[in-house]
Amino acid sequence: MYLSIFNFSVVTEWLHNLLASFMAPWLVTTVECVLVGVGLLLAYALLALFYIYYERKLCAFIQCRLGPNRVGPMGVLQSFADMFKILIKELISLRHTDKFLFALAPYLVIIASMLSFAVLPWGKGLQIIDFNIGIFFLIAVSSIGVLGILLAGWSSNNKFTLIGAMRSGAQMVSYELSIGLSVLTMVAYAGTMSVTEICEAQSECWFIFSGHIPALIALVIYLIAGTAETNRGPFDLPEAESELTAGYHTEYSGIHFGFYYLAEYLNLFVVSGVATLLFFGGWMPLHVPGWEGFNDIMDYIPSIVWFLGKTFVVSAIIIWFKWTFPRLRIDQLLTLEWKYLLPINLFNLVLMVLVIIYGFHGPVVQVN
């Protein structure tokens, strides 16, 4: 099965052997780390620019507008113009702030976002971090971002930023529980925390189809909690413009503000990518049991196209939330998590365990 899918490890092994043919082992490792870092930064920047344009166009479609349409054909260069503008903006130095923590905060947010970004399986053999506790690592590093937000709000010495940071901290810590339990439900179903093995376990059937009702409940809760975790509407209380100007990053300017802007969109990609990994097969193509001809055709579509295509669709759903539902109050937001999502999630985890024990689930390929 999926024999026709191109394995990107062929390229990485060729590059490794090429470098090893004329370099010392320590230099090969150094060069490979540099190449991975440059590739990660390039993909990070390009995806963020794409997502800015993607959301603007989807928002315009929902609101019956045109969206960006001046800079470049169909406005595709508008995001690049905005990027160059923000790069040449002055970094304003503020009095009465903790300058070290104020400068450190945006880098913590970016680091958390990039480490999470590196875990995602882009295609067959195309993954930066791959080890047997990949999901655990993903949840751990994604939690670092809240520290950058809290530090930004506190170090700015501004009541609006402090309120925004406190709201964001309460919101992100609360909804991390629902995200963690949704992920744990699917990890229990897969029987492994390895990202690669989770993808390969869905070669016959994606978990959203084989996992039945518990998988569907976990997906719905994950999408709601993921939207709240990324501080996007209707859960954007930390950045409520009508109350807190820009929230926790009110005092930031130039590239430091750009870091928060980029991290928001990359976190949207990470949340969507994890949903693709856990529920929609990751880079695995769509296979229908018994339809061998159809399955063979699906296998010829590159795995990176499958992963990015599914991720963009999930992102469109989350963007749809923002431009459809009104903003919740902070008490409503926390009530939704602690009184509804968390109990449902705990019940759903028990339900998934019962499904696994009594064998009601569909075929899951266990990878040795």
Q: How confident is the model at residue 246 (pLDDT cuts 50, 70, 90)?
A: low
Does 99 score more than 70 pLDDT?
Answer: yes
Residue 223 has pLDDT above 90, yes or no: yes
Dist. CA 112–CA 263, nearest whole Å: 9
pLDDT per residue as tens digits for the range 102-158? 888 889 888 888 888 888 888 887 888 778 888 999 988 888 888 888 888 888 888
b/e sequence 254-275, b meaning 16+ C-beta within 10 Å: ebbbbbbbbbbbbbbbbbbbbb
Helices (H), the chain: 9-20, 25-62, 78-87, 99-119, 134-142, 145-155, 159-190, 195-200, 207-210, 212-229, 241-244, 254-279, 292-299, 303-322, 330-335, 342-357
**Residue 28: is its pLDDT beyond 50?**
yes
How many Å apart are CA 273 and CA 270, to the nearest integer? 5
Contact predicate 2/284, CB 8 Å: yes
Least Cα distance to 11 among 131, 130, 126, 129 occurs for: 126
- Per-residue pLDDT band for 181 (boundaries 50, 70, 90) equals very high
Exposed/middle/buried for 84, CB within 10 Å: 0-12, 13-18, 19+? Answer: exposed
What is the predicted pLDDT for the residue at 95?
77
- Percent above pLDDT 70 for the chain: 94
Q: Up-side HSE of residue 197: CA atoms within 13 Å toward CB?
A: 17
Question: Does residue 367 surpass a pLDDT of 50?
Answer: no
Write out pLDDT tens, residues 42-56: 888 889 889 999 999
Under 8 Å between Cβ of 161 and 250: yes
Are the beta carbons of 254 and 84 closer than 8 angstroms?
Answer: no
Residues pairing with 43 in the sheet:
none
Cis before 285? omega within 30: no
Coil, helix or strand for 123?
Answer: strand
Measuring CA to CA, how many Å separate 288 from each of 6, 124, 299?
A: 20, 20, 12
Residue 64 zone, left/alpha/beta (φ > 0; ψ -120 to 50; rest): left
Residue 226 near residue 234, CB atoms below 8 Å: no
Share of the chain above pLDDT 90, in %: 23
Sequence-separated contacts (24+) of 10-18 with Cβ below 8 Å: 10/125, 12/125
Number of residues written out for the chain = 368
For the chain, the C-alpha Rg in angstroms (whole number) is 22
Question: Band of the pLDDT at 240, cuts 50, 70, 90?
Answer: low
Confidence of residue 224 (pLDDT cuts 50, 70, 90): very high
Residue 123's DSSP bridge partners are: 126
Q: Three-state SS for 126?
A: strand
